[in-house]
Amino acid sequence: MIVENEKIPFDINAIRAEFPVLKQKIYGKDLIYFDNGATSQKPQVVLDAINKYYSQENSNIHRGVHHLSQVATSHYEEARTIIQKYINAPLQEEVLFNSGTTAGINMVAFCFGELLTEGDEIVISAMEHHSNIVPWQMLCERKKCILKVIPMTKKGELEMDVFDNLLSNKTKLVAVSHISNSLGTINPIEEIIEKAHDIGAKVLIDGAQSIQHMKVDVQALDCDFYAFSGHKVFGPTGVGVLYGKKEILDSMPPYQGGGDMISKVTFEKTTYNTLPHKFEAGTPHIAGGICLGTAIEYLSKLDIDAIQKHEYELAQYAEQELLNIDGLRIIGTAKNKTSVVSFVIEGIHPFDIGTLLDKQGIAVRTGHHCTQPVMSFFEIPGTIRASFAFYNTKNEIDIFIKAVNRSLEMLR
């Protein structure tokens, strides 16, 4: 039995044993999964929870008087509480379930966007994922607002002095990623939040790449919104969370209309439900929410500082070994970065390397990683990206380096 706050010591073999997918062979080779930035693998507890939900608890929530509905409802709400505690949100109702980071950002862009007027400004950064660019462009078109972009340096670090100049009393929201999915840069979000608040703007943090790698405390950060995806934090796809401060969520109009988000409906007038239900119209991904709770509970029992250190060492080691390869260039060399190593090799298309690595059982991602402006900035078509999770090992990196070299022998 695990006593609360007692962490399981970081034991890589024990951890790997929890992830059945890692035991597979791909083309006769041990799978090396270095595509964690795209999605993470799932531990046995999460797989068991999915099975248990559908085999013993399946029911709709928040409406049935019968036993199963009450069980499902209480497990769904318990998951919300687990997540609330994990990110240290003050209130349970500030944790909104949705389908993922994309859904969370779009919801804020629409609903917070409804409070904006012509000429108001939104600030994003040069290294955002498309899902933290396009919703703001759509909002700007709809409400005649203006989108400003914090530029970055060739190292992939935000130009913070330019940020200072972008802020004005017209700035209503700053939306930035905590960690860049294509460069691995850890952005100085504490400073961004403080400066934005100084001029009265709200801040949304795209946490899709941070919650699985480091401790996130939304109260310590004082961010106004924090969005993340279940599937990148060892939970199911199709479920995610948006944290928002209650007073701001209360001030925003609802997103979608439908069941669960209402208090009373007549044909003359409908009144809306309280938080979190106001923003959760319709039957949600019940199994997803419950099992995301299981994933976060699993993560909360691990030592996140040890995880962060392990992943940092993996990324450092991978970079050091990759740099021995002729013509190889690391894209994203920020001082403060983690878990992602993006690179290009002179004269070689990333896709060709990715394909040859796959044949050797190694999963990496190649392409623009949903950050086309980042690729344009570096004047490259895309990168080869190895992104690590805590279940990856140094030994896997050694095999990966040999495989990159072997692939180059074939291509050169």
Catalytic residue numbers? 370
Among residues 93, 157, 206, 297, the one that binds ligand PLP under rule CB under 6 A: 206
Q: The tokens of 107 are what?
A: 């919801």
Task: Write out the H or E segment, with its range, that includes residue 243.
Answer: strand 240-244
CA atoms within 13 A on the CB side of 273: 18
Among residues 106, 185, 187, 209, the one that binds ligand PLP under rule CB under 6 A: 209
Piece of the chain touching ligand PLP by CB under 6 A; list 18-26, 55-63, 98-106, 320-328: 98-106
311 to 9, 10, 209, 386: CA distances (angstroms): 15, 12, 13, 12
332 binds ligand PLP (CB under 6 A): no
| 158: β partners | 152
Q: How far apart are the first and last CA of the chain?
A: 55
385 binds ligand PLP (CB under 6 A): no
What is the C-alpha to C-alpha distance for residues 220 and 28, in angstroms, rounded to an integer? 47
| 30: β partners | 25
Piece of the chain touching ligand PLP by CB under 6 A; list 206-214, 352-360, 385-393, 395-403: 206-214
What is the C-alpha to C-alpha distance for residues 363 and 284, in angstroms, rounded to an integer? 32
Among residues 36, 41, 98, 101, the one that binds ligand PLP under rule CB under 6 A: 101
Q: What share of the chain is helix, strand, coil (3-state, %, to 5)?
A: 45, 20, 35
**163 near 150, Cβ under 8 Å?**
yes
Among residues 40, 41, 98, 132, the one that binds ligand PLP under rule CB under 6 A: 132
229 binds ligand PLP (CB under 6 A): yes
Q: Minimum distance between the CB of residue 100 and ligand PLP, rounded to whole angstroms?
A: 3
129 binds ligand PLP (CB under 6 A): yes
35 binds ligand PLP (CB under 6 A): no
> How many binding residues for ligand PLP (CB under 6 A)?
12
Residues 262-301, one symbol each (x = binds ligand PLP by CB under 6 A, - = not), give ----------------------------------------
Residue 56's φ and ψ, nearest 5 degrees, are -130, -20
For the chain, how long is the longest CA-to-CA vector?
Answer: 72
Q: Minimum distance between the CB of residue 291 and ligand PLP, rounded to whole angstroms?
A: 15
Q: Minimum distance between the CB of residue 171 and ligand PLP, rounded to whole angstroms?
A: 21
Q: The tokens of 3 are what?
A: 């006593």
Of the pair 71, 370, the CB lying nearest ligand PLP is at 370
Residues 243-262, one symbol each (x = binds ligand PLP by CB under 6 A, - = not), give --------------------
Q: Classify the C-alpha dihedral 268-272-278-281 as positive or negative.
A: negative
100 binds ligand PLP (CB under 6 A): yes
Question: Residue numbers of the site for ligand PLP (CB under 6 A)?
Answer: 100-102, 129, 131-132, 177, 181, 206, 208-209, 229
